Amino acid sequence: MDHLTFAIQRGPEVARGLLVNAISELIGRLRPEHWVRLAVCGNPVQLSLFAGWEIRDLAYAGANKLAKEGVDSVDRSGRVVPGPDLGFPEGTEVVIPPAIRHEIGADALAMMLKSGFLDDDYCMVTDYGTNAEMALKVGDRIFSGSAAAGPAIEGQQIAAGMLAGPGAVSDLVRKPAGWQVKVLDRQLEAQNGPLLNLRSGICRAAGITPVGITGTGVIALIYAGLQDECIEPPHLAGGEVRLTKRIVFTEHDLQEAGKALGALRAGQMTLMQAADVAPREVQTMYMAGASGTYVDPVKAQAVGIVPPDATRLVQVGNTSLELAKDLARDPDILSELNALRQQLLAEHIMFATSDVFRNLYVYELALWTEGMAPDRYRKLLEGYGLSGYLDDHVTPRVERQVMRDIRDLGEGLDIFDGCTALTASWSCKLCMRCVQFCPEKALSFADGKFSINTGRCLGSACGRCEEVCPDRVFKQSSFVSMNMK
């Protein structure tokens, strides 16, 4: 769910209530009588909502708008806050790490510190997601930025898209007869699914039947289509790839994914151009976050979201949680984080106001959605000193530091489904199309009320419940009453 959109529409108090309730629920499942310190990590919106800080400066970029709204600048440096100040018990403290800029948060610091990036040179790190934080290190200089890649990288704005969960297509593996579709089982491990032949368009049912396509599956489908010459952006041979009667990947999906992939690549190239570094000089890529952990790095490089000449690809997992763990154990490292924050302020590039990013992203849109000839694309990039994209390269060495994005600690890992719900009711035909078409099973109906499980809902990134309502009465904005269980 888009935290900022939700908070602006429903109010920051409601958004903060959801966060605090989820954290309290988590603590209650552990040993709350022994709790002395809580450490958090995340982007500026998440941390501001949690701490009760102003968020409007994150929503509005224009100085005139901020002045009109009476919004003052917010100090988002790292600090330790007494638990009672945030609604937690006496005798506890909360550690909040610093943000760099309004679109680069503590999660960006985490990916640099916990990946090995800071000990390397001529390397890049990216936390893949809807808002992709990235950084490039050249000598002692670090260039940072954040690309609003959009939800396709997480399986959204795709007709059959879904978050990673049981039944999600997560990968495609080359076999003599075509491509073996990999589908996540109930333990979120990839198992064999249908066998797909892209050239003939035939898909033979086998193994686990997929129910949707997650972001890594989208990347794998595009890679397979490029390999079999069934994809020539913006077109897809036959207009679609059918995995089951209901699961289809369309040309529109290809173009939506292309917008996300293009934003990632344009962001990475903008950092290279700012550092006066050619793509061939970037030899190591650190890949963070869930998508960065589970995607096939070679396929990610082939579709353009990893520097083309990188010979070493390192998958590092959820670095944000790793930094939170360190802060919980030793809050004194906040001073190191605040010092690093000051260093990064000098080399941060805001893509929203960068002419270079704007031009590069226009080239990406032309390639993915308008059918720009690859040779023309290469020529335009050469003008920025960015040759090498779309060429064939040697297969890189892959280092996978973790098997899952979240590492097991102590007695192991247990993931619980959030129990906080938003409810609403209205007069309609109760056809239940909204419930049936919810890709994340976040919507339910009981006792005359519709309920949204906020731990699953994708909010404005999806909106399928509103789209399928034949009476046009379903409104996400009506869900304002919280049911705290």
For helices 44-51 and 12-28, angle between their N-to-C axes, nearest 10 degrees: 80
Question: pLDDT-derived band of residue 374, with 50, 70 and 90 as boundaries?
Answer: very high
Angle at Cα 406 formed by Cα 100 and Cα 33, nearest 5°?
Answer: 90
pLDDT digits (tens, 9 = 90+) for 51-77: 999 888 888 767 778 788 888 888 888
pLDDT at 115: 94
Q: What ranges in 295-436 are assigned the alpha helix state H?
A: 297-303, 319-329, 334-345, 355-369, 374-382, 433-436
Which has more pLDDT, 372 or 458? 372
- Is residue 134's pLDDT more than 60? yes
- Is residue 86's pLDDT more than 50? yes
pLDDT at 485: 40
- Is residue 410's pLDDT more than 70? no
**Sign of torsion over alpha carbons 55, 60, 66, 72:** positive
Lowest mean pLDDT among 174-183, 354-363, 426-435, 447-456: 447-456
pLDDT digits (tens, 9 = 90+) for 296-306: 999 999 999 99
pLDDT digits (tens, 9 = 90+) for 147-173: 887 766 766 678 888 888 889 999 999
DSSP state of 152: G
Which has more pLDDT, 378 or 402? 378
- Number of residues written out for the chain: 485
- Is residue 344's pLDDT more than 80? no
**Chain centre distance of CA 378:** 28
Query: On the CB side of 268, how many CA atoms lie within 13 Å of its CA?
Result: 32
Residue 255 near residue 244 (C-beta atoms within 8 A): no
- Is residue 481's pLDDT more than 70? no
Lowest mean pLDDT among 81-90, 219-228, 356-365: 81-90
pLDDT at 483: 46
- Is residue 241's pLDDT more than 90? yes
pLDDT digits (tens, 9 = 90+) for 418-473: 557 789 999 999 999 999 988 778 899 999 999 998 877 877 777 889 999 999 99
Full set of structural domains in the chain with CATH = 3-96 (no CATH), 105-318+340-405 (no CATH), 421-483 (3.30.70.20)
Type and span of the H or E element at 66: helix 63-69
Closest residue by Cα to residue 45 from 72, 7, 81, 17:
7
Q: What is the percent of the chain with per-residue pLDDT over 90, rounded to a whole number?
A: 58
* Whether the model pTM is above 0.85: yes
Mean pLDDT of the chain: 89
pLDDT at 286: 98
Mean pLDDT of 178-199: 93
